[in-house]
Structures are given as structure tokens and as C-alpha cells.
Amino acid sequence: MNATKTSQLFSPVELGSTRLKHRVVMAPLTRSRSVQPDGVPGDLMLEYYTQRASDGGLIISEAAQLSLATRGWHGAPGMYSDAQVDGWKKIVDVVHTKGGHIFAQLWHPGRFSHVSLTGGEAPVSASVDPEYWQNPSRLISTPSGWIQPSPHRALAKSEIPGVLEEYGKAVKRAKSAGFDGVEVHAGNGYLIDQFLQDGSNKRTDEYGGSIENRARLLFEVVRWPLDVRDRSSREISLQTVDLSQIQPRQLSSTATPTQYRSVVTLFRILIFREGYEKDFC
């Protein structure tokens, strides 16, 4: 690495209202260390993030699940209960005490799940693909060990507002826990990516077919907190930025599904700003 690139790597950058002292960002890493059976961040997670917090740096948390019905990995923490928020708050507080910043990654696994994780609810996806759950090489981490995923069903169009509402509630809880922002997990074959990819999305409504339609859920999830207004008609005080500020990328105007996955890899970041008070409930 030459001197210019080294200098840029360790130079400050602003992500909305969050100012980083350098551009070395800790990526989200699945640890499976939450307290079970309720997915509450406990002492082991607190120790993990305490060890990795640094002055002026940014941590993207491991994926946090939106609800009991959207759990997809045994041991992963949630962002849907008061106890989980209290556990996250201890982690956020220690990161801030060390001068660092932390964003919460929000995650809906879609068909990558099992009924033993979801309280009996069948996993959902863009479309139904029996080969997915019949493939013996595809395994899910559950309380009983690694087993094949449960049969999934197609998410009804009428259910999509409910999915958006779950993201909105998780954003509110992340704010309550003190996170500096949230990252929407939209890759790696999980729900949003299942809508993006034409191999898993066979829908004939406005969420299927063209790449614009397949990307509709992603952009609705990102825009949901921005489009909602509170009771006094003031816009929610949030910004959207992306990680291209740290590592620029170029996308063609005629993006292919693979290039859309590059967009997903960048993610969209929702940056909290002072004054955010919307009740999503």
C-alpha cells in the first residue's frame, strides 16, 4: 500500500452526523453468543464488543433479528424485545465510552430458517422453491443442531407492509438502545436478496419480473422510516448515506442482478439524527 492510500485510509470521514477518525470499519460477524432462548445480548457479547471498540472507529454489529417469526440462526441476538434493547444498550454504552461508534445490522433471513426458531411459523420468501428445503447440503443452525430448513411459503403482497413495519420497529428499538445508525442486511441469500435474485423470485406482481420490481422491497425497506411522518407532520430526522464514501464503487446504468448485489453489498445506512421521535407501533 502506497503512502497516499495509507494516508486516505487513516483520514477522517463523515457518515451523516457520524464522524469517524479513520476508515477502518469492523464488518458484521455472526457470533451466536446471545443468551438463549430469548436472543438477549449478554455478558459474552458485551465482552466481545468491548474488546473491539476503538476511539473514532465504527463497528457494524452482528445481524439482529426483527421478530420471533424472523429468527434464522440459533444464538443470534434480536432487536424486538425490551430485554434485548437493554442488553444492546450496555454494549452501545461501552463502545461510546471508548470513543467509538456502532451501527446495528438488521436482518430478515426469509426462507433461511426453521420452525424451531420461529415459534412454529413457516419461513417466507419471494416465491416457493421446494428444492431449497429438500437439498441435504443446505443446513440451518437450530437449537437441535444443524438441520435442513423448513418448507417456506411465498410472502403475500398484503403481508409486505407488515415486514416494513417490523423494520420500522427495529429501527426505533435500535435508536432507543443508543446505536448511531442501522445497516439493512440485504445480501447473502436472505429475504431481500431472495427478492432481488431472479433465481428465487418468480413473482408476477410488482415485486417480481424486472430488476426494478425485484429491487422494490429493498428500496421500500430503506425508505420506510424516511417516508413516515410523526403526528405533528414533521419529517423523521434521518439521513441516508452509503459506504461508497469509504470505498467508492462504480455501477453501470444497465445493472445486472450481479451488479445489484454489489449495490446490496454497499447497503444503505440510516443515520440517526437528534430529534427522531416517530412511534412506529
Residues annotated as part of the active site = 190
Residue with cell 443515520: 271
Query: What is the residue-wise DSSP string for 162-209?
Result: HHHHHHHHHHHHHHHHT-SEEEE---TTSHHHHHH-TTT----STTSS
**Residue 105 in contact with residue 61, Cβ under 8 Å?**
yes
**Residue 23 in contact with residue 11, Cβ under 8 Å?**
yes
- Backbone phi, psi, residue 22, to 5°: -155, 175
- The bridge status of strand 18-20 relative to strand 25-26 is unpaired
Give me Rg for the CA atoms of the chain.
Answer: 19
As a dihedral over the C-alpha atoms of residue 37, residue 42, residue 45, residue 47, rounded to 10 degrees, the angle is -150
